[in-house]
Structure 1
């Protein structure tokens, strides 16, 4: 029961509304501008560029700016890779292979750079979603949209320095190089991300389920956390939150909202997500699910029933694969830590 309570516990708030407002504006303003100029076809690139604002949650301004700039650069490279993959027509299996490479490489860069949140979840989502859209505007327009959104997120990152009550010292953050064991741990973690994502994506593709990258995203969710219990709990929360979020998604999609109204909904959902993502992951997933699906709808509309079915099935596939990877890693680490019997 203590482990169940730990999984479902609500953490204390830590200025979550600051981050929530910053990220909501960071995604809402670029999308509204695209709607205003009639370029909703570029919305997917603005949405993924806005992921930059998620990094460096409560860090001092200068450190947050450095971390977000690093994260933004990795996202731009991922966006470029996804756009090129789409133009090359690599197909479902090619998309899985590409997203698997992205999962491992991005997790390695994020880990070596000590960025928070850890892992490559956002990069897998970015590559998979962009690569799955069959037609894009000219490449330079896609990259310019993404780059401007990243720049806007960086500006939002330091905007609160204008308020004396929120200003942090503009001092260079002290960093120490990663030790050799820490670098090995990052490398092992990156390998787990690639294995989990590649396995889940392969299963979803073999079963003929659309949006195979959703399974890949769900597979890496349980890989984050200090203990095995915490990691498995994240997977359980992912399933619970996704189930609740699918109901909310259906209600929103049935409203038949105009694009500008959909953008406002995305901004509100982003705000709600950041209010709970650190405190209670299941509640956060209730808002993440419709936000992800609505963002997908803006780029490549699909029947709501099919969209919800794919999300539900692939969440279960991904989390199941993630659980197996976590348990296998724990078993192997236990074997390494067990002393050899004396002869």
Structure 2
């Protein structure tokens, strides 16, 4: 009786271990939970801190002026423009200036298109579909343009903040102008302080996003649209007021280059959001003044960038109250602490949809990489990517 060919047996084992059910089993292993709690060194704490400081300075300059102006109702959209300063922190000098310009255009486009849809009378369902498509578009653009962190989430946040039941044409113009003006200010602040940034060198290279084939980028965009769409409509069906938060949860998770990173992102985002929402709830119960909110936003902007590279969950602790406070300003303080639990539920929903879609739409190479990593590393190693 002849024996089984070892190569054939090995191929059969690899095929069995790369099934979707096995991928789910690997992702639910306690090792994966431990993996998500590991800390990493910042590639450049100076650059990360500077990006946060540039965004904070932009907000500190722009938001008080908008609040004191006849257009104080646009302060939420002004705060969206300040977020442009966060991009391209590890890029070469000239490339970063170009990245900031392109990101400013994306941020303005997100506000303009979604606001225009509301002005044209697009029903809620159409706007939600547009939001899902925006996830795909901005993911594709961010990866193709090598924008770096924080990636497409900032643009999707702006698009979600711009959805509305109805707008006048003047409101569309005002929203777009406020976002564009502060984005331009962010570009100026970054250009003026560019000399303070560490630049990559052969001795100290910085992370560089790999150039993915067009087919990979298109597939990632399509998967993100599907996952974000499911999260958006599920959130809307449950009666949530901000389905864009569920979309962001799904998109943030599905950005991971590998399944184990996707799962770690999901766990980190849920944990960080829970803590951050509690902090935001405690502040919002006090009905804070605009000046206090602006001051807290400036501080949170800096703190987020100082810690998010160490562990994504740490960043979410500060990102969550920042997003809620920006929403509070944008809604003219007509919303309050009730937003905090909705943010948590939307994030959990989005993260769960994101990881489920990542597994369901994964390739066999994705699942084999996860299986081989699980076999080769019984103890968790530091997260990369």
- Distance apart, 1:141 and its partner CA: 2.5
Give the alignment partner of residue 52 of structure 2, picking from 16, 20, 25: 20
Residue 144 of structure 1 corresponds to: 177
In the alignment, which residue of structure 2 is the partner of 1:51? 83
Unaligned runs of 5+ in 2: 1-29, 201-209, 370-385
Alignment of 1:11-160 (within 5 A): 11-13=40-42, 14=44, 15=46, 16-117=48-149, 119-132=151-164, 138-160=171-193
Distance 1:53 1:292 in 2: 16
Matched residue SS, 1:58 = coil
The answer as to whether partners of 1:11 and 1:278 remain within 8 angstroms in 2 is: yes
Please report how far the alpha carbon of residue 168 of structure 1 lies from its aligned counterpart in structure 2 after TM superposition: 5.6
TM-score (norm 1): 0.87
Match of 1:252 among 273, 283, 287: 283
1:205 aligns with 2:236: yes
SS of aligned partner of 2:309: coil
1:327 equivalent among 359, 373, 376:
359
CA distance in 1, matches of 2:334, 2:118: 18
Q: CA deviation at 1:319?
A: 0.6
Decide whether aligned partners of structure 1 residues 138 and 129 sit closer, same or farther in structure 2, where only a CA change above 3 A counts.
Answer: closer
Using the TM superposition, name which of 136-145 and 22-31 deviates more: 136-145
1:51 Cα offset (Å): 2.2
Give 1:303 deviation, angstroms. 4.5
Alignment equivalent of 1:193, drawn from 212, 221, 224: 224
User: Which stretch shows the higher mean deviation, 81-90 or 92-101?
Assistant: 81-90
1:308 is displaced (CA, Å) by 1.7
Tell me the residue number matched to 2:330: 299
Q: Deviations over 1:183-217 (max 9, x none)?
A: 11111111111111111001111222211111111
Instruction: Tell me the TM-score normalised to structure 2 length.
Output: 0.78
Of 288, 291, 297, the match for 1:266: 297
Aligned partner of 2:35 in structure 1 is 6
Deviation at 1:23, TM superposition (A): 1.6
CA distance in 2, matches of 1:227, 1:336: 11
Contact 2:124 2:165 (C-alpha < 8 Å) held by counterparts: no
Q: 1:325 to 1:333 in 2, by over 3 A?
A: farther
Distance 1:167 1:284 in 2: 22
Q: For residues 106-153 of structure 1, what are the alpha-carbon distances to aligned partners after superposition, in whole Å with 9 as ceiling and x for unaligned?
A: 222222222213752222211111113755763333222211111111
Contact 1:276/1:284 (<8 A) preserved = yes
State which structure, 1 or 2, has the greater radius of gyration over its C-alpha atoms.
Answer: 2
- Residues 132 and 211, structure 1, Cα contact 8 Å, conserved in 2: no
Aligned length: 326
> Contact between 2:132 and 2:226, CA under 8 Å: does it hold in 1?
yes
In the aligned structure 1, how far is the partner of 2:344 from the partner of 2:150? Answer: 25
> Is the contact between residue 77 and residue 330 of structure 2 (CA under 8 Å) also seen in structure 1?
no
Q: Name stretches of at least 5 consecutive residues in structure 1 with no aligned partner.
A: 170-177, 338-343
Higher helix share: 1
CA distance in 1, matches of 2:255, 2:77: 26
Quote how far apart the aligned CAs of 1:334 are.
Answer: 5.2
